[in-house]
Amino acid sequence: MHGKKDRTPVAIDRAAADVSADDFDALFIPGGYSPDKLRAHDEPVEFVRAFVESGKPVLAICHAPQLLINAQVLRGRKITGWKSVAQDIRNAGAEYIDREVVVDGNLVSSRQPDDIPAFIEASLAKLEEAGGGKTMTAAAEQR
């Protein structure tokens, strides 16, 4: 498969239907157009739902809430995201907070690329809290 920018080649090891939340320690959902495209397919939506329900860290930025909305896992949660999905987030029963990072349980969310430094800090803290320990501390020290 090829990425949108510069047609960068990307290898996909396994399909969403062939994995489970048990196979991973955390889930990162990037922004851009990917969440909108993925939410049109049952397998990625079900994978995301199971992952959020597992309690493991879910790291979401920009348009990532679109996928979380379709997974129906936002009701009663606090989250941020790209401003154009703010009303969709509210319609899904979540509280939209216009802040660079929002942490609610296992969910770490951020609005936009300018928020990446704060998003990384909060994500590393959540991963360490979840058991990343020495690996996450080493990653933070390398930055």
Q: What confidence tens digit (pLDDT) does each residue in 110-143 have? A: 999 999 999 999 999 999 999 864 444 444 444 4
| 79 falls within a domain | yes
CA distance 97 to 81: 8
| 63 has catalytic annotation | yes
| 8 falls within a domain | no
| 36 has catalytic annotation | no
* Residue-range definition of the domain harbouring residue 131: 16-142
Q: How far is CA 46 from CA 52, 72, 120, 143, in A?
A: 10, 10, 26, 34
Which residue among 62, 69, 74, 89 is the active-site one? 62
Total of domains in the chain: 1
- Please state the φ and ψ torsions of residue 54, each to the nearest 5 degrees: -70, -20
Order the strands of the 27-29 sheet from edge to edge.
Answer: 27-29, 58-61, 107-110, 101-104
Q: What confidence tens digit (pLDDT) does each residue in 16-70 have? A: 999 999 999 999 999 998 999 999 999 999 999 999 999 999 999 999 999 999 9
| 50 falls within a domain | yes
| 53 falls within a domain | yes
Which residue among 34, 45, 47, 63 is the active-site one? 63
Return the CATH number at 138. Answer: 3.40.50.880
This prediction has a pTM of 0.87
